[in-house]
């Protein structure tokens, strides 16, 4: 059964470049991004892990931990980190899961169920579905699911943008419009009456009877 938004993120125990972790315990009371890549020592993946390393402080500001995963062994992750630094200038400090038995990849629907039971002999093409992103909240619920094709590197600034939206809208009865960025106007949800909107947000604009916008709440 495939995972959906608001499902509880499956828990697991796995070996990482920073030792053995239990996923839910590792998340703690904050947020987490679990992101996968097809294979170590490949070009797109090298740029992606470096880009994520360069943004780690931005994720930390949002109380978000990041963790990577592929079906490569932990020892391979550790050797690859030197190449990532050379190519991108960034040092990977976040943990990388070595999922040699494909347990986590299958648990999260990153690979077909019939993908076998080991990473031995697998190629990037075999792992074409393993370029996934899961954003998980403090309640251990899945808040966002993204999957990308083999040839398309991810935009991790977009993932930060969605986290800003998810965290904001979890706190206030608002939604964010297309292409919204931090600090821009937001949409008041239909659950809020006009009277309540005026009390909560002060001034707001009625663009359409069902579309009301206001300044981003700051409290």
All structural domains of the chain, each given as residue ranges with its CATH number in brackets, are 13-154 (3.40.30.10), 172-214 (3.30.1020.10)
Host H or E run for residue 213: strand 211-214
Gap between the Cα atoms of 186 and 29, Å rounded: 27
The region of weakest confidence among 1-5, 57-61, 180-184 is: 1-5
**Among the listed residues 13, 59, 71, 7, the one whose alpha carbon sits nearest the alpha carbon of residue 32:** 59
pLDDT at position 128: 65
**Catalytic annotation present for 196:** no
Distances from the Cα of 175 to the Cα of 31, 149, 178, 189, 205, angstroms: 20, 28, 10, 6, 14
pLDDT at position 159: 97
The mean of the pLDDT values for the chain is 93
pLDDT at position 54: 98
90-107 as b/e: b if 16+ CB within 10 A: bebebbbbbbbebebbbb
Q: What percent of the chain has pLDDT over 90?
A: 87
**Among the listed residues 117, 132, 119, 215, the one whose alpha carbon sits nearest the alpha carbon of residue 174:** 215
pLDDT confidence tier of residue 32, bands split at 50, 70 and 90: very high
pLDDT at position 53: 98
Q: What is the pLDDT of residues 75-107, one digit of tens each?
A: 999 999 999 999 999 999 999 999 999 999 999
Q: What is the pLDDT of residues 128-144, one digit of tens each?
A: 667 899 999 999 999 99
Active-site position among 33, 34, 44, 45:
45
Contact 104, 12 (CB under 8 A): yes
The region of weakest confidence among 2-11, 15-24, 127-136 is: 127-136
Query: ∠ CA 96-120-152 to the nearest 5 degrees?
Result: 55
């Amino acid at each position: 059964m495939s995972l959906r938004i608001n499902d509880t993120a499956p828990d697991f125990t796995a070996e990482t470049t920073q030792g053995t972790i239990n996923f839910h315990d590792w998340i703690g009371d904050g947020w987490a991004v679990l992101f996968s890549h097809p294979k170590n020592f490949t070009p797109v993946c090298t740029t992606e892990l470096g880009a994520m390393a360069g943004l780690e402080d931005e994720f930390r500001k949002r109380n978000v931990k990041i963790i990577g995963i592929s079906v490569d062994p932990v020892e391979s992750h550790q050797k690859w980190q030197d190449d990532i630094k050379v190519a991108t200038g960034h040092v990977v400090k976040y943990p990388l899961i070595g999922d040699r038995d494909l347990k986590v990849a299958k648990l999260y629907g990153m690979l077909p169920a019939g993908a076998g039971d080991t990473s031995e002999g697998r190629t990037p093409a075999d792992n074409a579905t393993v370029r996934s992103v899961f954003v998980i909240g403090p309640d251990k619920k899945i808040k966002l699911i993204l999957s990308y094709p083999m040839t398309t590197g991810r935009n991790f600034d977009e993932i930060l943008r969605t986290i800003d939206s998810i965290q904001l809208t979890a706190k206030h009865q608002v939604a964010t419009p297309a292409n919204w960025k931090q600090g821009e106007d937001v949409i008041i949800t239909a659950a809020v009456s006009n009277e309540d909107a005026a009390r909560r947000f002060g001034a707001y604009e009625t663009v359409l009877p069902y579309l009301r916008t206001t300044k981003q709440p700051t409290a």
